[in-house]
Amino acid sequence: MVDPEDKSIAAMITKMEQKRAELLTDLEKVQEWLNQLEAILSRGKAIIGEESTSTPTPALPSPDNEKPDAKAGRILRLIEKPDAEKSHAEKIKKLFEELGGMSVPKIDAQFRERNWPINGKNRNQIIRNALNRKSEWFEMSKDKKTWNLVKRVNPEIQAQGG
């Protein structure tokens, strides 16, 4: 049997691996831009007659040499995005975890109360679209008036008739 804590750790590891891949891609882009900038500076200096003195790019600190406390803090900052960077669906999920299910207008009211922007004229439709896009997270009640988080049923409990 897989412990829920093991699942959360596995999910965190997957998320960290994805973020690492994104950061490595970003690092490659930055290095490419620095190389292009260096080439432009060299050409410019050659045109005006200055000697081309190549400045070495600063070395990034190795993650292996990083102190454990600093590494843990950096990883947590990467994983836990501030609310401003979260998608509408992530914000709605946070609302449901804190307050339980609610209707679309109440979700909109919570967005306004928390100063979470929704860009567009039809705010309710934007919220509905976010809810529908993440159908694995959200479900509509039988009366079709409120939304809530999907209730996960443990297959072992369901098989026992509970």
Average pLDDT, integer, range 23-46? 84
pLDDT recorded at residue 52: 47
Same domain, residue pair 13 and 74: yes
Taken in order 59, 76, 109, 112, the sign of the CA dihedral is negative
Same domain, residue pair 15 and 68: yes
Same domain, residue pair 58 and 93: no
Q: Residue 82: what are its φ and ψ, rounded to 5°?
A: -65, 160
On the question of pLDDT at 58 being above 80, the answer is no
Whether this prediction's pTM lies above 0.85 is answered by no
Among residues 60, 79, 98, the one where a domain terminates is: 79
Same domain, residue pair 87 and 75: no
Instruction: Name the residue with higher pLDDT: 69 or 30.
Output: 30
Same domain, residue pair 73 and 8: yes
Question: How many whole angstroms separate alpha carbon 32 and alpha carbon 27?
Answer: 9
Domain that holds residue 55: 4-79
On the question of pLDDT at 63 being above 60, the answer is no
Same domain, residue pair 14 and 68: yes
Asked if 148 and 101 touch (Cβ cutoff 8 Å), the reply is: yes
